Structure 1
């Protein structure tokens, strides 16, 4: 594993990353502050193998990409990560196209052009202020069950994932292909085994994500 005990790892994103963390604590390497999902599982492995490493989780449930932009100074740059992991996009679909709500307004989703513009703006800002940071860009995903099926997520989330892959080609040190990981897992069990509503992973789903993240991090 190429990470070192001196690394500061930051997970950013929405509810999939948040996963019930105690936002009042905001402590590094603290189980309650890390939530109950893939970020916590990655942290457990890193802390066991690299004593001294620092791991933060600043995911917030419901966030779209513009939420990240609005809190980036405090919740990302100020922490001075050496490894920054970002998973964002599903709420930009869910709160917009999937629910038939307006795009590019606070209560709605985010259009694909605006999503890409803000995402790139975040990464440009990050590279300017933290030139040595390693970027782990994660693919947004959806499984065909629950809310995803009911609200027909896939046309929009698939295009959003393509956009994130293109952004990753320009900016990422590593890309984590979560949609591919879950698609491959469907050979073992149905979609609701991995994410009951098609969006929020089960215990099994979070373990898949943690394993995939760690596999990708081996290439940092």
Structure 2
């Protein structure tokens, strides 16, 4: 029988062969290094893109990788901290190029400079809430169809220019409090469905943030996770980081 082992299977087999005694006597640093070598390739470049949720008050004058000022104070920074801690020997490069207020057309306008030219190995994109929020405020007239075609084109362009890049599509989300009222629905849910549809059609990873928060509000009220219904609190960003890493680590 021909059995094909993936990288995780090989990791388990190697650990088993080493023996339980060896594992017990290994230092924590040794175990982390061994796991890191199989989980993330050395010198991997990770890029976060999106709107204010990703921006998270980052210092846009500081574009240095792995710098907390350039990463902001949101989920991107929390994810970077986890990865840099657990993969110290991998020499990761983690950057944030989210910009507050951005919609899909805004990402498209700066995509070459802020994404393609950076040549990330992993690209995470969260965009969509402003596409409806600005429309409801009378500052934009983009439809759900515009969101689908624009976002789809952005993903196709990226896949063509960076065929080896792993793309992670993050689900737009809102919580029913603050700025969120019935006028957001059902259109917002239609836009969320578009993000999932595009990820599935292009076989990209998908982070289900909305369903995650829908479960979270069973434990604490919406304001606990996002005071205005859009921008996460510290708890909300931490929850996002946890879910994102779950998806990331499935590869």
Q: Normalised by the size of structure 2, how large is the TM-score?
A: 0.82
User: Are residues 109 and 210 of structure 1, via their aligned partners in 2, closer, same or farther at CA, if it must alter by over 3 Å?
Assistant: farther
Q: Which runs of 5+ in 1 are unaligned?
A: 102-106
Higher relative contact order (CA 8 A, sep 6+): 1
Q: Which runs of 5+ in 2 are unaligned?
A: 1-35
How far does residue 152 in structure 1 lie from its aligned partner after superposition?
2.7
How far does residue 108 in structure 1 lie from its aligned partner after superposition?
1.1
Q: In structure 2, what is the equivalent of residue 79 of structure 1?
A: 118
More helix by share: 2
How far does residue 154 in structure 1 lie from its aligned partner after superposition?
3.1
Q: In structure 1, what is the equivalent of residue 31 of structure 2?
A: none
Q: In structure 2, what is the equivalent of residue 42 of structure 1?
A: 79
Q: In structure 2, what is the equivalent of residue 94 of structure 1?
A: 133
Match for 2:246 among 209, 215, 218? 215
CA RMSD of aligned residues (A): 1.2
The answer on whether the counterparts of 1:5 and 1:50 sit within 8 Å (CA) in structure 2 is no
Match for 1:118 among 127, 135, 150? 150
Residue 180 in structure 1 maps to residue 211 in structure 2: yes
**3-state SS of 1:137 partner:** strand
Q: In structure 2, what is the equivalent of residue 104 of structure 1?
A: none
Cα distance in 1 for residues equivalent to 2:203 and 2:53: 20
**3-state SS of 1:147 partner:** coil
Residue 148 in structure 1 maps to residue 180 in structure 2: yes
How far does residue 4 in structure 1 lie from its aligned partner after superposition?
2.8
What number of residue pairs does the alignment pair up?
A: 212
How far does residue 109 in structure 1 lie from its aligned partner after superposition?
4.6
Rg bigger for which structure?
A: 2
How far does residue 156 in structure 1 lie from its aligned partner after superposition?
1.7
Q: Normalised by the size of structure 1, how large is the TM-score?
A: 0.93
Q: In structure 2, what is the equivalent of residue 4 of structure 1?
A: 41
